């Protein structure tokens, strides 16, 4: 063929390999500095006093005895904070209660003291007078007209009149005619599903170290998913200019969405301001569980119509998510994502955002999506099995593809759902035999993936090595990915590039590390910054050679004359150009700032085998395989790691994890002994299959991979347990007592 007009598939040299992570040695030797690992001269210990009540009016706080204690340098209550802008009012109220304590563990006062022992003692000396109010923690109970009301006047116009004030907002998505679709169905599955609140469960508790001078300039060292967010939020709450607050992100010991908001930081700054000394604050595990971001507990009604050959004629879901004590549960994302894997003529979802006396929900890996997928993928499974149909075939038949109008509005470009289903169908796992009391489940999952504000600065050093500065905390290996993309684009070895996470004084605004955005958006900006540097290096070479810069191209780490008319010059390498940079115009750098669009959506299919112990009701995961589209896997080992980690968090959510509140509204399991996340002995290996359907919105085809992996497991495991038990499981977690009760109910008929 003389001419090939199809776009040549790019051959990568660095991307797709598995180099060692740049933060590896620090992390295996204990040198890596996390939130609690920093110290400052003259540093004080900050501690928070928390409400012992689920709902109470704060009548009076008397801190005089605490203030009189030797070693106490500052006490802070809400009275120390002034009026704040509306968009951070709830954030402040969550960090430090105002008129009311809204949940067990809500912060009501804080101290800074010369030692942890003094701080603990001081907390006991703070006298808080509470007027205890009735409370509500259940998602269905809070909607009832007679439920205790958390906030007056927060209800939005979308909510019909006459509903409890705890119902904050109603949203609706979809297209077509549900009733008409249901009429075409041969079977309608209609069920209500419930999921418990779970916690992100990062092993590193929240921690920060704040310093503020009398000139109003402040520094903050903090473990967070977004130090720019921390800067902007704290500056707004403290009435500071953003430029006066410099925030440095520590290494982050897990976040999963839970570190996308502030809890301690504004309080630490206020304590530091009042005390005139640096203040370090570190949460205990019980504080983490009582007062930081769990996800919503939910109650979801689903109605699915299916013909006997497996066509879904209508899909409807009504979702109720309690987001804790403040508006803003992730119900919209649940309502948008639940049916997103399918090409449906008639689809509708209604979401209800409701508040309860629980800690404010924070994002948790694909926030809102796993619960919706649990409900909808369970109903699809039940409908398919009711006709004796293969659940993978039914999903393939109804699966979304390029050109499908998504249930939440947009029309998909190239997507990977069917590739994951085909891979699942042909995998040996699908045809492996099952034993007695065993069941196999499958489910699909979707996540949007985000882009957002991003800055990258790429600098060429005089000796020709490269530093990349980016503004997103590295939560899953992104420094390695950025290094790889910079090396790829510049045509130099991986070890010639070092990527750092810059503080807020060094770059422009950067969106939080969330939405699986970093490898996509920061990667995009890194590639563009490298392109800018290459262009400048070509210009320098052209200058040296005395030819037009358009006559120079960059290939394999060197500037080269492009084409026969450019003149014959030997290639000039990056190192050679860097060495003479001072004489050709000065230092060389590339940078890129963008609100990144074009984050490709992501799909996965999960397959799981379980075995039930009929005497105890306990479930063992026997085999697990993840099939997910990564677009392009920059570092395949780290992509596998994201798949495996998400799947196992989903296993915990499905089988064990649960916020348990007593009748008194107090959290009963605020520790890792009773809030039990999966341990190594609970699990098999988690097999992974990476599919690569390139994202048209990224130069290398990259899609975010971090979140989708937690979307299918809840439903996949429920489908497997239901098959093994012979009973449809509709409530999470499927803990041993709950499974046992279901088995007994079935036996009693």
Judged by the rule CB under 8 A, the positions of this chain that interact with another protein are 18, 20-21, 23-34, 36-37, 116-117, 200-205, 251-256, 282, 284-285, 475-477, 637-638, 640-641, 644-645, 647-649, 671-673, 677-683, 685-686
Contact present, 209 and 40 (Cβ < 8 Å): yes
Q: How far is the CB of 253 from another protein (least distance, A)?
A: 3
- Residues in CB range of 138: below 8 A, 6 or more apart: 297, 322, 356
Beta strands in 343-463 (DSSP E): 347-354, 438-447, 452-460
What is the DSSP secondary-structure string of 598-665? Answer: -PPPEEEEEEEEEEE-TTT--EEEEEEEEEEE-SS-SSHHHHHHHHHHHHHHHHHHHHT----B-TTS
- Rank residues 130 and 202 by Cβ distance to another protein and give the closer one: 202
- Rank residues 590 and 706 by Cβ distance to another protein and give the closer one: 706
SS3 state of residue 207: strand
- Rank residues 252 and 527 by Cβ distance to another protein and give the closer one: 252
Residue in this structure with the two tokens 């800074």, named with its chain if needed: 112
Q: How far is the CB of 475 from another protein (least distance, A)?
A: 6
- Rank residues 32 and 580 by Cβ distance to another protein and give the closer one: 32
Q: How far is the CB of 506 from another protein (least distance, A)?
A: 23
- Rank residues 284 and 595 by Cβ distance to another protein and give the closer one: 284
- Residues in CB range of 333: below 8 A, 6 or more apart: 366, 367, 368, 369, 448
Q: How far is the CB of 21 from another protein (least distance, A)?
A: 7
For residue 333, the Cα-to-chain-centroid distance in whole angstroms is: 12
- Rounded Cα gap, residues 473 and 231, in angstroms: 14
- Rank residues 469 and 642 by Cβ distance to another protein and give the closer one: 642
Q: How far is the CB of 288 from another protein (least distance, A)?
A: 9
Q: How far is the CB of 389 from another protein (least distance, A)?
A: 31
Q: How far is the CB of 41 from another protein (least distance, A)?
A: 14
Q: How far is the CB of 623 from another protein (least distance, A)?
A: 12
Give alpha helix (H) positions in 451-500: 478-490
- Rank residues 36 and 272 by Cβ distance to another protein and give the closer one: 36
Strand pairing class (56-62; 602-612): unpaired
- Rank residues 444 and 670 by Cβ distance to another protein and give the closer one: 670
Burial class (CB in 10 A: 0-12, 13-18, 19+), 189: buried
Q: How far is the CB of 27 from another protein (least distance, A)?
A: 3
- Rounded Cα gap, residues 71 and 190, in angstroms: 62
- Rounded Cα gap, residues 519 and 600, in angstroms: 12
- Rank residues 645 and 697 by Cβ distance to another protein and give the closer one: 645
∠59-65-70 over CA atoms, to 5°? 145
Over its C-alpha atoms, the chain yields an Rg (Å, rounded) of: 27
Q: What letter does residue 278 receive in the DSSP assignment?
A: -
- Rank residues 201 and 697 by Cβ distance to another protein and give the closer one: 201
Strand (E) or helix (H) holding 182: helix 178-183
Q: How far is the CB of 687 from another protein (least distance, A)?
A: 9
Q: Encoding tokens for residue 621?
A: 């995961």
Contact present, 619 and 721 (Cβ < 8 Å): yes
């Amino acid at each position: 063929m003389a001419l090939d007009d199809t776009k040549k598939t790019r051959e990568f040299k660095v991307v797709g390999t598995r180099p060692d992570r740049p933060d590896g040695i620090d992390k295996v030797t204990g040198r890596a500095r996390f939130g609690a690992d920093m110290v400052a001269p003259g540093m004080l210990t900050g501690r928070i006093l928390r409400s012992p009540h689920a709902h109470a009016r704060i009548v009076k706080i008397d801190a005089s005895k605490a203030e009189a204690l030797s070693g106490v340098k500052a006490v802070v209550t809400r009275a120390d904070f002034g009026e704040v802008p509306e968009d951070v009012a709830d954030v402040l109220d969550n960090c430090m209660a105002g008129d009311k304590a809204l949940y067990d563990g809500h912060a009501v006062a804080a101290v800074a003291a010369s030692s942890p022992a003094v701080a603990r003692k001081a907390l006991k000396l703070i006298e808080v007078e509470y007027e205890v109010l009735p409370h509500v923690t259940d998602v269905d109970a809070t909607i009832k007209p007679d439920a205790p009301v958390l906030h007056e006047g927060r209800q939005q116009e979308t909510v019909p009149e006459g509903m409890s004030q705890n119902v904050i907002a109603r949203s609706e998505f979809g297209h077509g005619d549900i009733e008409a679709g249901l009429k075409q169905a041969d079977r309608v599955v209609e069920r209500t599903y419930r999921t418990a609140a779970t916690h992100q469960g990062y092993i590193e508790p929240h921690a920060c170290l704040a310093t503020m001078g009398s000139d109003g300039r402040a520094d903050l060292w903090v473990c967070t998913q977004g130090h720019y967010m921390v800067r902007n939020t704290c500056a707004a709450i403290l009435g500071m200019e953003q430029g006066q607050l410099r925030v440095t992100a520590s290494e982050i010991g897990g976040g999963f969405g839970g570190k996308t908001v502030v809890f301690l930081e504004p309080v630490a700054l206020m304590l530091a301001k009042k005390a005139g000394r640096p203040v370090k604050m570190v949460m205990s595990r019980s504080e983490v569980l009582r007062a930081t971001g769990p996800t919503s507990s939910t109650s979801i009604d689903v109605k699915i119509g299916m013909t006997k050959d497996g066509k879904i004629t209508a899909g409807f879901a009504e979702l109720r998510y309690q987001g804790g004590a403040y508006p803003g549960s992730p119900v919209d994302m649940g309502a948008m994502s639940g049916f997103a894997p399918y090409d449906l003529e008639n689809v509708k979802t209604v979401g209800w955002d409701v508040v309860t006396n629980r800690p404010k929900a924070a994002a948790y890996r694909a926030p809102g999506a796993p619960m919706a997928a649990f409900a909808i993928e369970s109903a699809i499974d039940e409908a398919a099995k009711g006709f004796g149909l293969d659940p993978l075939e039914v999903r393939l038949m109804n699966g979304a593809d390029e050109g499908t109008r998504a249930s939440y509005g947009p029309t998909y470009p190239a997507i990977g759902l069917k590739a994951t289903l085909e891979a699942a169908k042909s995998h040996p796992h699908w045809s492996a035999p099952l034993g007695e009391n065993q069941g196999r489940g499958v489910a699909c999952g979707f996540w949007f993936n985000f882009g957002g504000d991003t800055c990258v600065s790429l600098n060429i050093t005089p000796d020709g090595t490269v530093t990349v500065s980016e503004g997103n905390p590295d939560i899953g290996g992104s420094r390695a990915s950025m290094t790889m993309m910079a090396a790829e684009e510049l045509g130099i070895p991986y070890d010639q590039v070092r990527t750092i996470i810059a503080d807020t004084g060094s770059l422009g605004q950067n969106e939080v590390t969330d939405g699986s955005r970093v490898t996509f958006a920061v990667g995009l900006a890194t590639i563009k910054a490298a392109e800018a540097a290459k262009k400048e290096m070509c210009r320098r070479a052209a200058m040296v050679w005395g030819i037009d810069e358009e006559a120079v191209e960059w290939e394999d780490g060197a500037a080269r004359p492009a084409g026969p008319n450019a003149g014959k010059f030997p290639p000039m390498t990056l190192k050679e150009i860097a060495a003479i940079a001072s004489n050709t115009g000065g230092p060389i750098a590339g940078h890129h700032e963008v609100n990144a669009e074009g984050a490709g959506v992501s799909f996965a299919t999960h397959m799981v085998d379980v075995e039930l112990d009929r005497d105890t009701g306990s479930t063992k995961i026997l085999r697990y395989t993840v099939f997910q589209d990564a677009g392009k896997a920059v570092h395949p080992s780290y992509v596998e790691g994201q798949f495996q980690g998400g799947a196992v968090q989903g296993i915990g959510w499905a089988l064990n994890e649960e916020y348990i509140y007593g009748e008194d509204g107090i959290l009963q399991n605020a520790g890792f002994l009773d809030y039990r996340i999966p341990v190594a002995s609970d699990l098999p290996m988690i097999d992974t299959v990476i599919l690569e359907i390139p994202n048209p919105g990224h130069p290398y085809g990259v899609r975010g991979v971090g979140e989708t992996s937690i979307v299918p497991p809840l439903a996949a495991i429920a489908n497997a347990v239901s098959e093994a038990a012979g009973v449809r499981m509709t409530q999470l977690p499927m803990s041993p007592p709950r499974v046992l009760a279901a088995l007994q109910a079935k036996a009693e008929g």
